[in-house]
Structure 1
């Protein structure tokens, strides 16, 4: 079982539009409503793969009730933490050329009692978890050190934890040595405080995160592929993608694929790349099923192309 923790979940509405023209009436060609938040997406990807998952998340108001209902219909066990504020609603506009515009609401502010209840719920639900995946931004009311506390408690209980967050919350958590951190290129550059122009730059940045405490770094480099750096070595993975439809949740799908495949080594990286590549070819935040995966399109190598210039460099 993979347990996910999403401190700031959302109700996500995705509209497919021909193009985004400011000040004009835009008629959508397609629409979806999904439970959102990075940890929620990991649970959705795990469930789509036919594996058991439990989602821990604070839920409040009508949007929160709808999120729980949508997750239940997808076969995901929900461990809700009732909160006074309403769960946030987000909007994504997906243009025909693959450009995505997102409007994310701030979400409710959690009280001290709600903060403690969230931690206690994770503890109660984590007994038989192979992995705990903690993902996304922190809501108002949770200090940047909250993830660090959760990592410490998780390790004290003997469980493994994967962390997908950024900024001060990531840096604070590194001191507690999370088993895996999963930044994208922008988050990786932000963590080390310098731009990334090549795959080699990303490798050096990942090694710095390991020096700060991360036991392994799974870095998403957008269209360039993914990078895994751990005690076992470094690997680079990429996949052929015929057409990008939406990248919403693609990184979360990658993390799910990585954890499903054991959470370490080149085989897990290959699974992460396959899941991410499949996700970007699906509409909205639809998560891939095993039938959507194309393992033959994936390449993983220990000969990391350090000199390769990133297609999407981070300045």
Structure 2
């Protein structure tokens, strides 16, 4: 089983424009859709669509409108009762696939609610193969919230604890790398650059690899670094690989990184080697980018083009 935590879920509203966004102008939209979102939810939806057992843990108030969208996603979930309602995020996409996002902060979690979330994740992780901690942290919790969860899970389950993957950014990711010893992190190049204090957005793979090597394996078991249309780099103690995506028609990049992580974890659960894990991550990320909104790709959505993998080190 795979368990995901979405500590700060969101109702994702996607607006599709017939032309590039014109700031300050009035524009008509071609279409709009709503999806139950948040990084952990996005990962869980892709994993469940592939037929794997997945449990999505999230804080959710009784009567929250988000519950209706979540039910449509047909996920197996464990909701932790809280008072505040789920935030709404807005993504605006143009015909070239350029996406503009507006993310709201989310409802504040009290100390008791945060503790209940940790307890729920610990209980849900019993017997799981992977635990995915993904997305931003809600107001009210400290930057080390993911580290606290990781320690609690490992203390409770010992050698039977699941592998732990973290997809976060900013101070939350910094805390995980400093004190959490995650089995996998999944930053994009910009988030990796922010972590180490140097710009990496658009940097060549040699620069990305050098930075990742400063973290792997000293602080992190492995790093899956997504590079958008340039593919992704997987760095482990025993090697590093670069994969290039097949050609697709980009419709929305929202959730593409989440789907990449889902593809990696799916391949890992199925016993695939490191190159195949990277290939499936690329296919899932490309599939998500070819779909509107934050739809979770299914195996039928995966592109069939070649995904070349080259060993970097």
TM-score exceeds 0.5: yes
Q: Which residue, 201, 208, 214 being the options, matches 2:214?
A: 208
CA contact (8 A) 1:11 1:88 kept: yes
Please report how far the alpha carbon of residue 303 of structure 1 lies from its aligned counterpart in structure 2 after TM superposition.
3.9
RMSD: 1.6
Is 1:271 the counterpart of 2:272? The answer is no
* Distance in 2 (alpha carbons) for counterparts of 1:233 and 1:129: 27
CA contact (8 A) 1:237 1:299 kept: yes
In 1, the alpha carbon distance for the partners of 2:214 and 2:143 equals 20
110-119 or 82-91, larger mean C-alpha shift = 82-91
Match of 1:15 in 2: 15
Extract unaligned runs of 5+ from structure 1: 305-315
* Distance (whole Å) between structure 2 residues aligned to residue 252 and residue 133 of structure 1: 10
> Shift of residue 295 of structure 1?
4.5
Residue pair 2:246, 2:306 contacting (<8 A) in 1 also? yes
- In structure 1, what is the equivalent of residue 290 of structure 2? 281
What is the correspondence of 1:1-315 to structure 2 with a 5 Å cutoff? Answer: 1-18=1-18, 19-60=20-61, 62=63, 65-156=64-155, 157=157, 158-174=161-177, 175-196=179-200, 197-210=203-216, 212-262=218-268, 265-303=274-312
Cα distance, 1:179 vs. partner?
A: 0.4
What is the alpha-carbon distance in structure 2 between the residues aligned to residue 154 and residue 179 of structure 1? 13
Structure 1 length-normalised TM: 0.91
Deviation at 1:124, TM superposition (A): 1.4
Name the SS for the 2:308 alignment partner.
strand
Give the secondary-structure state (helix, strand or coil) at the position aligned to 2:212. helix
How far apart, CA to CA, are the structure 2 residues paired with 1:280 and 1:164? 18
Find the aligned partners of 1:68 and 1:299 in 2 and give their Cα distance.
40
Query: Deviations along 1:166-194, whole A, 9 cap, x unmatched?
Result: 12211211222100000001001111111
SS of 1:15's equivalent in the other structure is strand
How much does 1:241 deviate?
A: 2.2
Flag structure 2 segments of 5+ consecutive residues without an equivalent: none
What TM-score do you get using the length of structure 2 for normalisation?
0.92
Q: Structure 1 residue runs of 4+, over 6 Å off?
A: none
Conserved? CA contact 1:257–1:271, under 8 Å? yes
The answer to whether the 8 A contact 1:61-1:85 is kept is no
| Matched-pair contact (CA < 8 Å) for 1:258–1:269 | yes
Task: Note the C-alpha offset of 1:139.
Answer: 0.7
Q: Residues of 1 paired with 2:62 and 2:207: CA distance? A: 44
Equivalent position SS for 2:140: coil
Query: d(CA) in 1 for partners of 2:312 and 2:90?
Result: 40
Q: What's the CA shift for 1:212?
A: 4.9
CA distance in 1, matches of 2:234, 2:27: 41
Cα distance, 1:67 vs structure 2: 2.8
Which secondary structure does the structure 1 equivalent of 2:276 belong to? helix
Which is strand-richer, 1 or 2? 1
Deviations 1:34-56 (A, max 9, x none): 01111110011112212221111
Asked if the contact 1:47–1:74 (Cα under 8 Å) also holds between the matched residues in 2, the reply is: no
Taking the aligned partners of 1:272 and 1:116, their CA distance within structure 2 comes to 32
